[in-house]
Structure 1
Amino acid sequence: MNLLALNPIAFNIGSLEIHWYGIIIALGALVGVIMAMREATRRGVNSDNILDLVLIGVPVGLICARIYYVVFELPFYIANPGEIIKIWHGGIAIYGGLIGGFIVLVVLCLRRKISIWLMLDIAAPSVMLGQIVGRWGNFMNQEAFGAKTSLDFLQSLHLPHFIVEQMFINGAYRQPTFLYESAANVIGLILILVFRHRKHFYKLGEVALSYLVWYPVVRFFVEGMRTDSLYIMPGVRVSQILSLILLIFAIGALIYRRKKMDLPWYTDLTEQNNGLNKN
């Protein structure tokens, strides 16, 4: 046991334990919602639609994220059914959450006659921000880590002392794969935000597709370093397969839409001229 590890419990309210994991996830969601609401207003979409998307999408996404994880760890949860609802012990699969959130977004857009691609463009950077922040919840829980490494290696990365000590897990120092993913997505988010507001750079849907290029590449390589992956079969990681599928889809969609479809520029979608149906 590492006595220097951070306490995953932030505070108690009576017998109720409030975990850092939940606080960090909620913080990431809050900041992401604010960012999406501002961008929605900028692009002529009523920001109330973002609130509705979050109010429905977050619980559905959490449920789908948990179901995704439980399905690929089914023998354990069959033997320990009481653990299924204990998400504070970890076990939230990002890809499962993305699937759930996407379904809610599509249904909402179809019912309210909002462009699905426009809403995806608005939401994608906020989702990425949520992932950046959310990985620090994994850090607090000492999960999503990599193979054994040395103290010297971690110190050579010039990491703060509290990160180095938190990476001492199960009697050995571990690769901080949560940090690699979070840091790489910070770079991706900055690039997307910068180019998103550059006139005539992105067309409709390409902000979301850029996210679907960047994140799967990052996740594919980071997943290969992790020791707690979900597997389809021995040696075949679920997240790596899904990352490849999403990457191929995103690149194909970018090429096809540019060559075959007459799409508006993302920066031209304003309150005055965003009269879009489902493109």
Structure 2
Amino acid sequence: MDYPLNPIAFELGSFQVHWYGIIIGIGIALGFYLASKEGDRLGLPQETFSDLLIWAIPIALISARAYYVLFEWDYYSQNPGAIIQIWNGGIAIHGALIGSVITAIVFSRKKNISFWKLADIAAPSIILGQAIGRWGNFINQEAHGEEVTRSFLEGLYLPDFIVNQMYIEGTYYHPTFFYESVWNIIGFALLLLLRKVNPKRGELFLSYVIWYSIGRFFIEGMRTDSLMVADLLRIAQVLSLTLIVVAAFILVFRRIKYALPRYADQTNEGTIAP
């Protein structure tokens, strides 16, 4: 196998299909399948998540790209044609999450479904999709960390295909995409376990936010391509810390303020609180 891996999976005439898009698509499809099955089990209308995705996918992609372009505006203002080239990477998961949450809030109100119930069901799917999506960064040789040696990577017992793909222009790099993917897979397993405990409504989603943000904070500190504010602050770290504090506060506040239903309760009333 030749390295680096070809980011183009195949071509249809002049149209190139990138592995990045295929991998993102696989993550979305698997997440949709799992959320739909769980939604059926908990009594949501069968078309709930298919209707939601019609709006959430394009809005998430647009917001993810807009978030990235905003914080890289010095480059994109000089290269406006590159703004739409998402197949080359450059979408920010925090932007996608912001767009998706806003979409889900509006959707839940329109459908008279509890936002928290919708978010709880979707949480394992979201983090699994993130775990899969990071492999798009692997193919593109992006979202990596500082320089390391080959012996360091081999000491992590990584398979050769990862080690070889981390050899970029004569240097080996930390596979931070891999660290985050593993963190998210562990988070996916923990959320499935938490789901069996039947926690209070909203706590599964809030636990996802906290778990993902903790991992992202530390892994982001290892990366070399972070979006920055004034060359001083890594935006993803600032946002991760903010989300940890806000999610923990909301979790505690809702427990104190409301008599919350449980995750598996069949009520579907469309409201943000409880």
TM-score interval (norm. to shorter): over 0.9
Whichever residue aligns with residue 183 of structure 2, its letter is: A
After superposition, where does 1:174-189 map in structure 2 within 5 Å? 174-189=173-188
Cα deviation, 1:219-243, whole Å, max 9, x if unaligned, reads 0000000000000122200101110
- How far off is 1:275 after superposition? 4.6
**1:80-128: per-residue Cα shift (whole Å, max 9, x none)?**
1110000011100000000111111111111111111111111111111
The runs of 4+ residues in structure 1 deviating greater than 2 Å are none
Equivalent runs, 1:120-139 vs 2, <5 Å: 120-139=119-138
Q: Which residue of 2 aligns with 1:58?
A: 57
Report the secondary structure of 2:77's partner residue.
helix
1:151-188 deviations in Å (ceiling 9; x for gaps): 00000111111100100113210000000000011111
- Any conservation in 1 of the 2:109–2:270 contact (CA below 8 Å)? no
Instruction: For residue 20 of structure 1, report the CA deviation from its aligned partner.
Output: 0.4
Q: Give the unaligned 5+ runs of structure 2.
A: none
Return the TM-score normalized by structure 1.
0.95
Aligned counterpart for 2:225 among listed residues 220, 223, 228: 228
Q: 1:13 to 1:277 in 2, by over 3 A?
A: closer
Structure-2 separation of matches of 1:65 and 1:35:
23
- Asked if residue 68 in structure 1 is aligned to residue 61 in structure 2, the reply is no
Distance 2:230 2:45 in 1: 45
CA distance in 2, matches of 1:265, 1:109: 18
User: Which residue does 1:162 correspond to in 2?
Assistant: 161
Q: CA deviation at 1:277?
A: 4.0
* Alpha-carbon distance in 2 for matches of 1:180, 1:21: 18
Deviations 1:30-85 (A, max 9, x none): 00000000111111111311001111100110000000000000010011111000
3-state SS, counterpart of residue 197 of structure 1: helix
Find the counterpart in structure 2 of residue 91 from structure 1: 90
Task: Give the alignment partner of residue 276 of structure 1, picking from 260, 266, 269.
Answer: 269
Give 3-state SS (helix, strand or coil) of 1:158's partner: coil
Aligned to 2:9: 10
Q: CA RMSD in A?
A: 1.3
Aligned residues: 272
What fraction of aligned residue pairs are identical, expressed as a percent? 49
Q: Secondary structure in 1 aligned to 2:10?
A: strand
Which residue in the other structure is 1:204 paired with?
201
Equivalent residue for 2:79? 80
Match of 2:212 among 204, 211, 215: 215
Give the Cα–Cα distance (whole angstroms) in 2 for the partners of residues 53 and 102 of structure 1. Answer: 11
1:257 to 248, 254, 257: 254
* Alignment correspondent of 2:148: 149
- For 1:89 and 1:275, how far apart are their aligned partners in 2? 40
Residue 247, structure 1, aligned to residue 228, structure 2: no
Unaligned runs of 5+ in 1: none
Structure 1 window deviating more from structure 2 (231-240 vs 147-156): it is 231-240
Whether the 8 Å CA contact 2:113–2:268 is kept in 1: the answer is no
Distance 2:53 2:258 in 1: 30
Report the counterpart of residue 191 of structure 2 in structure 1.
Answer: 192
